Amino acid sequence: MDLLHDAEVVSVIASVFRGLGLPGFEIRLSNRMVLSSVLAHWGIGGGDSARFLRIIDKHGPQGADAVRDALAEEKAPGELVSLLGELLKLEDLDSAERLLTDAEIDPGGVHALREVVEAAARLGVGRDEFRVDLSIARGLDYYTGTVYETFLSGREEWGSVCSGGRFDDLAGYFTDRALPGVGVSIGLTRLLDLLVQNEQIELESSSPTRVLVAVQDRDSLDSCLRVAALLREGEVPTEVYMQARRLGEQLAYASALDIPFAAIIGAAEAAGDFVTLRDLRAGTQEVVEFSDLLNRVTGIGEGEA
């Protein structure tokens, strides 16, 4: 297990968030082996270990005292609760190592975390961009080592917007080969919302959809789906309105999202292989044969958003 890969993930996260031009961010990292070793010292493993790790991960953002209180409510051993209360307040890895060593607990997780921290710094990640947070465990049981969470300055209440970690055994569910891995996922929805709020990107409309296929009745559904497939094959973002609503409500939905066109298909349209194409911005409509629809939609309003 080369921990340089884990450090490179820290570097990638930092590069991405710098590139987004956001006001500030903080990558918090730990190693799941630290907490697992503490629990194992008290003979806690298997399902109980996973349960306690989830409790620590859940209450960690509220501070070490909140974790200690939550574990006490779960009837965790008093000495364990006391040690974790001290450990989770520490950001200095030397102090964490001394605490574990004095308690005769394997400090291997701290050693691994130190290696990642030092390598991340050598890779150019600023010490103001990341810090150690030993309360991070990640709730999913497949994490085996380094774990990451990323918070935006001033938006900490959102929780982590980029999380992940090392999962050495996950591929074992699907193959007999040993395929260790490490990685993260990004909360795109929250980030996009913030970029829009900060006017760092400009949305052309409230929805990427260009054509709403309005379904008049279930008998015409086959034709609606044919039209949607035709438009999508032509790379026109298309949505089929699946709910049983009146036409007026469907068109109001499209207008609220600034969708420029509605392809209306009822029994007559389905029987004749045509649609009633309504330009919702101009307030006009026309009858268009299926074969001409793609050209008509891509040709009308050229230059519009």
Tokens (6 digits) for 149: 């969470």
Q: Which pLDDT does position 176 carry in this prediction? A: 67
Q: Which pLDDT does position 119 carry in this prediction? A: 95
In which residue ranges of the chain is CATH 3.40.50.800 found?
211-299
Longest dimension (CA), the chain: 83
* pLDDT of residue 166 exceeding 80: yes
Given 3.40.50.300, 3.30.930.10, 3.40.50.1100, 1.10.275.10, which CATH number is that of 4-197?
3.30.930.10
Show contacts of 190-199: CB within 8 Å, 24+ apart. 190/155, 190/158, 190/161, 191/20, 191/22, 191/161, 194/22, 194/152, 194/155, 195/20, 195/22, 198/22
Give mean pLDDT, residues 44-50.
80
Can you give the pTM of this predicted structure?
0.70
The SS3 assignment for 99 reads helix
Q: Which pLDDT does position 221 carry in this prediction? A: 87
Give mean pLDDT, residues 200-225.
83
* pLDDT of residue 6 exceeding 80: yes
The SS3 assignment for 28 reads strand
Question: With 0-12 CB in 10 A as exposed, 13-18 as middle and 19+ as buried, what is 133?
Answer: buried
Domain covering 211-299: architecture:
3-Layer(aba) Sandwich (3.40)
In which residue ranges of the chain is CATH 3.30.930.10 found?
4-197
Rounded distance between C-alpha atoms, residue 35 and residue 74, angstroms: 17
Give mean pLDDT, residues 14-37.
91
Chain segment 72-125, per-residue pLDDT in tens: 887 788 888 899 888 988 889 999 999 999 999 999 999 999 999 999 999 999
Q: Which pLDDT does position 139 carry in this prediction? A: 62
DSSP assigned state of 235: T
